[in-house]
């Protein structure tokens, strides 16, 4: 028997009968609302965020470990890029998702430092939990962190150095790219990769406006070979081939007709039916279609074009006519690639055959089809273009996983070089900037009275977590390494001293030429502090639709 009061706890119930005709009731439990308030909610949120941070902590620095992520489809990704790791993780907790968004924000704005910003946020939350256990209100902690962050951002600007570079002196840009690539899987080839990243950015940079349009840099990957085979192409590379195997594989002094209309007869937009009852009607239809194809090819040929790039496909008849007229063609070229080809060659994208004119054709030194190894993999190279500002980077690797990681690493290096072109101020790496800021924040805590000083001191201790993680990942004693560097910074006043992760015999990061952009480091601290302040001010979590 089920009483009416018990039925209130169930949303649905069904009356069923067993094999003997005896009735029984099937009931589903009701979803209810889960609510966490006050300190319980804050600690729960901090725990979720710190779990994400701890997962990335071992990936920080040049000796950081890599993570292997396997998707539901079995795709394997091996990387130590913080943003990539978090994007590919199955994250359910709402606060943990905020940590993922934090890393994505750093990646979108700066392009590097995605692991460091999450580790710093986790360290701040760890200190916040200690202060909450002491009975300090979350708002006071948030205010103290805010003051400390402002001090750090201002102090970073004070200790930052300016680097001088030009189109003829790219050494500072190259050193910055080397620092970024030093912590990646591709660090064995970091010299070549840094050169490629620097040259690619400098080729498309607007030196007057100090800006870089990344849309002009195309990252393309092809499995086969090694990372050492990665090359910078002064032009555009697309993963296509000639539409017919008998077409020439290379065209010198190419004049490109870039089309967004297909090589086929026009089709009415209304529904129609055509009944052919005699052989004469069929011949007339075939002749009309043939004339359409002939006219299309003639319009292209008359314009002076010797290569056709088409966004759409075309059938065998059109392909055969193009071959007969010695007009090499490339079909099914994507919209973005089509735009890049138009930018690089100075051509116009033509929507109709009737609008083809010689003035709308693009030009480049050569269009050639390249075959890789003994496989059937082929790619089209558009080289020696009129507009050299459009470039491509062809990444090679033994498997798709290595190729994708190479592309991610090069993208990070390019972003750092771009940031340095925008703002030529740098701070030194190896945790030296964090240690210097921690010492400055401790001085601030000593000058501030009241409860806020505890939060400010907690911020300084959180900054120490970055150099400690670098030392730990490099196989050193974290506490001993941090104490030594701190003592030397205090004694000498040299803010460039950091953790010697690479065992080069000096702690001076300026001598090691390990540095990163000022705006990247400032962004790390501001984003991490903003997220921690938001998490601390959440004191009520209501989850609707949870099962009891």
Specify whether the backbone of 237 is left (phi greater than 0), alpha (psi in -120 to 50) or beta.
beta
Helix (DSSP H) and strand (DSSP E) numbers for the chain: 18, 21
Where would I find the H helices in 29-77?
38-57
Quick one: 97 exposed, middle or buried, by C-beta within 10 A (0-12, 13-18, 19+)? middle
For residue 142, give the nearest of 482, 454, 520, 497 by alpha carbon. 454
Positive/negative CA dihedral, 230, 235, 240, 241: negative
Task: Say how far apart CA 91 and CA 194 lie, in whole Å.
Answer: 33
Residue 49 CB partners (closer than 8 Å, separation 6+): 95, 96, 98, 99, 121, 122, 125, 535
Report residue 4 CA to chain centroid gap. 57
Helix, strand, coil shares of the chain as percentages rounded to 5? 50, 20, 30
**Among residues 77, 79, 81, 452, which one is catalytic?**
81
Cβ contact 394:230 at 8 Å: yes
* Residue 198 falls in the annotated catalytic set: no
Q: How far is CA 117 from the centre of its chain?
A: 15
Consecutive H or E run containing 286: helix 279-302
Structure-token match 């256990």, residue found? 133
Q: Name the catalytic one among 107, 112, 146, 412.
A: 412
Active site residue 495: no
Active site residue 84: no
Catalytic residue among 77, 79, 84, 115: 115
Q: Which residue in 203, 403, 199, 371 sits closest to 381, CA to CA?
A: 371
* Catalytic site residue from 77, 79, 114, 151: 114
Is 294 designated active site? no
Provide the annotated active-site residues: 81, 114-115, 412
């Amino acid at each position: 028997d089920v009483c009416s009061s018990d039925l209130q706890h169930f949303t649905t119930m069904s009356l069923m009968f067993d094999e003997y005709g005896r009735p029984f009731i099937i009931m589903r439990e009701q979803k209810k609302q889960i609510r966490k308030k006050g300190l319980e909610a804050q600690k729960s949120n901090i725990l979720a965020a710190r779990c994400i941070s701890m997962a990335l902590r071992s990936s920080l620095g040049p000796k950081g470990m890599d993570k292997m992520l396997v998707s539901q489809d079995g795709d394997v990704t091996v990387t130590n890029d913080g943003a990539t790791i978090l994007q590919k993780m199955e994250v359910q907790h709402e606060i943990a998702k905020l940590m993922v968004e934090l890393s994505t924000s750093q990646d979108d704005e700066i392009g590097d430092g995605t692991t460091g910003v999450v580790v710093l946020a986790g360290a701040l939350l760890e200190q916040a939990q200690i202060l909450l256990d002491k009975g300090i209100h979350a708002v006071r902690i948030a205010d103290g962190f805010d003051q400390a962050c402002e001090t750090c951002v201002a102090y970073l600007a004070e200790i930052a150095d300016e680097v001088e570079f030009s189109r003829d002196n790219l050494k500072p840009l190259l050193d910055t790219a080397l620092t970024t690539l030093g912590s990646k899987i591709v660090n064995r080839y970091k010299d070549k990769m840094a050169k490629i990243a620097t040259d690619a950015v400098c080729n498309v940079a607007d030196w007057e406006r100090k800006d870089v349009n990344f849309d002009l840099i195309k990252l393309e990957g092809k499995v086969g070979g090694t990372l050492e085979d990665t090359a910078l192409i002064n032009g555009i590379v697309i993963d296509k081939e000639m539409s017919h195997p008998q077409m020439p594989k290379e065209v010198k002094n190419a004049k490109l007709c870039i089309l967004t209309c297909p090589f086929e007869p026009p089709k009415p937009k209304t529904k129609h039916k055509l009944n052919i009852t005699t052989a004469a009607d069929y011949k007339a239809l075939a002749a009309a279609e043939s004339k359409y194809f002939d006219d299309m090819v003639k319009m292209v040929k008359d314009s002076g074009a010797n290569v056709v790039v088409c966004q759409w496909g075309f059938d065998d008849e059109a392909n055969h006519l193009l071959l007969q007229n010695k007009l090499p063609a490339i079909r099914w070229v994507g919209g973005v690639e089509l735009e890049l080809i138009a930018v690089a060659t100075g051509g116009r994208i033509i929507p109709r055959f009737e609008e083809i004119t010689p003035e709308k054709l693009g030009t480049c030194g050569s269009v050639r089809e390249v075959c890789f190894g003994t496989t059937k993999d082929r790619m089209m190279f558009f080289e020696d273009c009129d507009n050299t500002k459009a470039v491509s980077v062809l990444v090679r690797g033994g498997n798709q996983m290595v190729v994708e990681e190479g592309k991610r690493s090069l993208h990070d290096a390019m972003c750092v070089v771009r940031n340095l072109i925008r703002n030529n101020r740098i701070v030194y790496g190896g945790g030296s900037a964090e240690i210097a800021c921690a010492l400055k924040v401790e001085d601030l805590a000593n000058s501030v009275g009241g409860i806020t000083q505890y939060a400010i001191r907690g911020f300084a201790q959180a900054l120490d977590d970055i150099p400690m993680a670098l030392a730990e990942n490099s196989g050193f004693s974290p506490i001993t390494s941090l104490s030594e560097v701190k003592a030397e910074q205090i004694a000498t006043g040299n803010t460039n001293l950091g953790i010697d992760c690479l065992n080069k015999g000096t702690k001076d990061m300026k001598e090691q030429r390990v540095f990163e952009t000022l705006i990247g480091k400032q962004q790390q601290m501001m984003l991490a502090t903003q997220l921690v302040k938001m998490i601390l001010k959440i004191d009520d979590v209501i989850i609707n639709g949870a099962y009891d």
